[in-house]
Amino acid sequence: MSTTSPKAVPFNRTHVADNELAYLSEAVRQGFTCGDGPFTERAGRLLCELTGAGRALLTTSCTHALEMSAILLDLRPGDEVLMPSFTFVSTANAYALRGAVPVFVDCRPDTLNIDERLIEAAITERTRAVVVVHYAGVGCEMDAIGAVTRRHGLALIEDNAHGLGGLYRGRPLGSFGLMATQSFHATKNVQCGEGGALLVNDAALAARAEIIREKGTDRSRFFRGQVDKYQWVDIGSSYLPSDVLAAMLTAQLESFDAIQRLRQAVWRNYHEGLADWAAENGVAQPAVPGDRAHPAHLYHLLLPDLRNRQAFIAHLAAHGVQAAFHYQPLHSSPAGPRHGRAAPGGCPVTENVADRLVRLPLYAGLGEAGAARVVDAVRGYEVR
Ligand SMILES: *Cc1c(COP(=O)(O)O)cnc(C)c1O
Q: How confident is the model at residue 207 (pLDDT cuts 50, 70, 90)?
A: very high
Mutate to test the pocket of ligand 1, among 83, 88, 182 (most ligand atoms within 8 A of CB): 88
> In CATH, what number is assigned to the domain containing residue 304?
3.90.1150.10
Residue 12 in domain: no
What confidence score (pLDDT) does residue 5 get? 58
Report the chain's C-alpha Rg in angstroms: 21
Cβ atoms 156, 145 nearer than 8 A: yes
Strands 155-159 and 101-105 turn out to be unpaired
Catalytic residues: 188
**Is 356 in the same domain as 209?**
no
**Is 204 in the same domain as 344?**
no
**Is 117 in the same domain as 217?**
yes
**Is 218 in the same domain as 260?**
no
Return left, alpha or beta for 17; rule: phi > 0 is left, psi -120 to 50 is alpha, else beta: beta
Residue 75 CA to ligand 1 center (angstroms) comes to: 21
Assess whether pLDDT exceeds 60 at residue 50.
Answer: yes
The count of other CB atoms within 10 Å of the CB of residue 211 is 20
Ligand 1 atom showing the smallest separation from residue 135 Cα = 13
**Is 168 in the same domain as 138?**
yes
CA distance 86 to 107: 7
> In CATH, what number is assigned to the domain containing residue 160?
3.40.640.10
Residue 168 in domain: yes
Residue 236 CA to ligand 1 center (angstroms) comes to: 21
DSSP states along 112-154: -SB-GGGHHHH--TTEEEEEEE-GGG----HHHHHHHHHHHT-
Domain hosting 30: range is: 20-254
For 27, 84, 267, the CA distances from 140, given in Å and listed in that order, are: 38, 11, 20
Assess whether pLDDT exceeds 60 at residue 2.
Answer: no
CA distance 308 to 356: 8
**Is 162 in the same domain as 304?**
no
Residue 60 CA to ligand 1 center (angstroms) comes to: 11
Ligand 1 atom showing the smallest separation from residue 187 Cα = 1
Give the end of a domain, one of 214, 236, 254: 254
Cite the DSSP H helix spans in the chain. Answer: 20-29, 38-51, 62-72, 89-96, 119-122, 142-152, 203-213, 219-223, 243-254, 256-273, 275-281, 306-318, 336-339, 348-356, 367-379
Residue 31 in domain: yes
Q: How confident is the model at residue 353 (pLDDT cuts 50, 70, 90)?
A: very high
- Phi/psi for 88 (5° steps) reads -75, 155
- Specify the DSSP element, H or E, that contains 101: strand 101-105
What confidence score (pLDDT) does residue 7 get? 84
Instruction: Compute the average pLDDT of residues 328-341.
Output: 98
**Is 281 in the same domain as 199?**
no
**Is 275 in the same domain as 225?**
no
Residue 330 CA to ligand 1 center (angstroms) comes to: 14
What confidence score (pLDDT) does residue 279 get? 98
Tell me if residue 201 falls in helix, strand or coil. Answer: coil
Q: What is the pLDDT of residues 54-110, one digit of tens each?
A: 999 999 999 999 999 999 999 999 999 999 999 999 999 999 999 999 999 999 999
Residue 209 in domain: yes
Residue 62 CA to ligand 1 center (angstroms) comes to: 5
- Phi/psi for 278 (5° steps) reads -65, -45
Residue 3 in domain: no
Residue 8 in domain: no
From the CB of 185, is ligand 1 less than 6 Å away?
A: yes
**Is 342 in the same domain as 363?**
yes
What average pLDDT does the chain have? 96
From the CB of 163, is ligand 1 less than 6 Å away?
A: no
What confidence score (pLDDT) does residue 223 get? 86
From the CB of 87, is ligand 1 less than 6 Å away?
A: yes
Cβ atoms 157, 381 nearer than 8 A: no
Residue 4 in domain: no
CA distance 164 to 6: 33
Residue, of 277 and 223, whose pLDDT is higher: 277
Q: What is the pLDDT of residues 156-201, one digit of tens each?
A: 999 999 999 999 999 999 999 999 999 999 999 999 999 999 999 9
Residue 72 in domain: yes
Which is it for the CA torsion 262, 265, 267, 270, positive or negative? negative
Q: What is the pLDDT of residues 293-317, one digit of tens each?
A: 999 999 999 999 999 999 999 999 9
**Is 100 in the same domain as 136?**
yes
Distance between start and end Cα atoms, the chain: 29
Residue owning the nearest CA to atom 14 of ligand 1: 161
From the CB of 196, is ligand 1 less than 6 Å away?
A: yes
**Is 176 in the same domain as 42?**
yes
**Is 237 in the same domain as 110?**
yes
Give the end of a domain, one of 202, 227, 254: 254
Tell me if residue 43 falls in helix, strand or coil. Answer: helix
Domain count along the chain: 2
The residues, any chain, with a CB within 8 Å of residue 347's CB and separated by 6 or more, are 85, 86, 104, 105, 106, 107, 329, 331, 332
Give the end of a domain, one of 239, 254, 269: 254
* DSSP one-letter code for 9: B
Q: Which of 187, 181, 183 is nearest to 201 (CA)?
A: 181
What confidence score (pLDDT) does residue 3 get? 47
Cβ atoms 302, 328 nearer than 8 A: no
